[in-house]
Amino acid sequence: MIDLRSDTVTKPDERMREAARTAEVGDDVYGEDPTVSELEARAADAVGTEAALFVPTGTMGNQIAARVHTEPGREILAERESHVVKYELGGFAQHSSAQVRMLDGGERGIPTPAQVEDAIVEESLHRPGTGLLCLENTHNAKGGVAIAPDEIAAVADVARERDVPVHLDGARVFNAAVALDVPVTDLTEPVDSVMFCLSKGLGAPVGSMLAGSEGFVGAARRVRKLFGGGMRQAGVIAAPGRRALENVDDLERDHENARRLAAGLADVDGFDVREPETNILRVDVAGTGLEPAAVLDRLRERGVLASEMGATAIRFCTHRDVTDAEIERALEEIDAAMAG
C-alpha cells in the first residue's frame, strides 16, 4: 500500500529507535528527565521562544494554550474550518468553558485584520470579552495553505493591540516555513504561543511542542498535569522527537512530491487539482460523477490510500515514508483506477 492519507502515518526510523533505546531518562513530572528537558530547550530555540513544553499530542497542546490564555466565559476567535473548531471535539467549550466565535478565512483560511477587529468584543455587563485569537499555519482543511509572515503579523497585531493574546496552531508550521523559504521564527514571532507537531512530517512516533514565554509555559505545565498529560520517563519518546527536529529540511522533498503528484493527477478525467503549497494536495472529484468515498475505494483496490476532504474532495498527503518511486507508481495506479 502507498499510504497518502496523512503525514501522521510515518514510522520512526532506525536513528529514532536507537535514540529511544539509549535515551537518558528520569521522572519528568519531577523535572528530572534530561532528554525531555533538552528537547524542550531545542524546540524553544527552534521557534524563537523563551520556553517550550513537551505534550503527547497537538490537540492537547492547543487545548492547554486555550486554557492558559483565557478565563471561563470568554470568546475565542477561530477560523471556521480550523482544526480547533472541526476536529477537537469542542474542546474549548469542554476544557476552557469558552465560546467560539468563528471567522470565515476564505479560500486560504486566514481572516483579515478587519474581520478580527470587528469580531473582538470588550468585556462588559452584557458581553463576554474576547480571550484569544487562534490561527492555523499551514491551514490543513484548506489544503496545506502556507500563510506568510506579513499575513500572520497583520491579524495578530490587531488582536494584540486590543490585549487579546494570539495562539498559533502550527501543527505543520515548519512545512509553511520551508514552503515560503523564511525562518520559522518569522511565523512565530507575531504570536504569543505556538504548538507544532513532531509526529507528522517530521517523523516522530509521538509528541508535539507548546512554546511561548517562561510564564506561559510555566502555567501550561500545570494545565498539562491537570489534563492528565504529566509523563514520567518520557525521554523514551522525547529522544525520537529531538531527532525529528533535525528533519525540517527534508520537508522540501515532500513538497516536491506533492507538486509531482499534482502535475500527474491534473490529467486524470474529472479530477480538479489544486496546486499544492506544501505536502497536502486537495483534489475535487465531483467531475468524475463519483462520491469521494467511491473514488477512495477504487484507489484502495489499486494499492493507494488517500482520505476524504469535505463533500466533493479527496486529500493526498506526502511524507518522508513515501519515496519518489512510490509517487510515480501511485500516479500510474491512480490513472488505471480512474480509467477502469
Q: Which residues bind ligand PLP (CB under 6 A)?
A: 57-59, 62, 83, 136, 140, 169, 171, 197, 199, 208
Determine the straight-line distance between the first and last CA of the chain, rounded to whole angstroms.
Answer: 19
Closer of 188 and 288 to ligand PLP (Cβ): 188
- What's the rounded Cα separation, in Å, for the pair 12 and 10? 7
The least CB distance from residue 267 to ligand PLP, in Å, is 29
In contact, 46 and 184? CB cutoff 8 Å: yes
In contact, 38 and 44? CB cutoff 8 Å: no
Question: Would you list the DSSP string of 101-129?
Answer: EEE--GGGT---HHHHHHH-----SS---
> What does each C-alpha distance from 215 to 66, 98, 292 come to in angstroms?
15, 22, 46
Closer of 74 and 172 to ligand PLP (Cβ): 172
Closest residue by beta carbon to ligand PLP = 58
Closer of 100 and 337 to ligand PLP (Cβ): 100
Closer of 77 and 338 to ligand PLP (Cβ): 77
The least CB distance from residue 49 to ligand PLP, in Å, is 18
The least CB distance from residue 136 to ligand PLP, in Å, is 5
The least CB distance from residue 206 to ligand PLP, in Å, is 8
Q: 3-state DSSP call for residue 307?
A: strand
Q: What stretches of 167-284 show up as alpha helix (H) in DSSP?
A: 173-180, 184-188, 214-226, 235-244, 251-265
The least CB distance from residue 92 to ligand PLP, in Å, is 13
Closer of 169 and 284 to ligand PLP (Cβ): 169
Using DSSP bridges, classify how beta strands 193-197 and 166-169 pair: parallel, antiparallel or unpaired: parallel
Closer of 279 and 288 to ligand PLP (Cβ): 279
Q: Which candidate, 317, 312, 51, places its Cα nearest to that of 192?
A: 51
CB-based contacts of 287-292 (< 8 A; 24+ apart in sequence): 288/338
List all residues 6 or more positions away from 50 whose beta carbon is below 8 Å from its beta carbon: 44, 212, 213, 214, 217
- Angle in degrees, 0-180, between the axes of helices 292-301 and 324-339, rounded to the nearest 10: 120
Closer of 83 and 260 to ligand PLP (Cβ): 83
In contact, 20 and 240? CB cutoff 8 Å: yes
The least CB distance from residue 170 to ligand PLP, in Å, is 8
As beta bridge partners, residue 64 has: none
The least CB distance from residue 209 to ligand PLP, in Å, is 11
Closer of 171 and 281 to ligand PLP (Cβ): 171
The least CB distance from residue 60 to ligand PLP, in Å, is 7
Using DSSP bridges, classify how beta strands 193-197 and 280-284 pair: parallel, antiparallel or unpaired: unpaired
Closer of 147 and 262 to ligand PLP (Cβ): 147
The least CB distance from residue 244 to ligand PLP, in Å, is 13
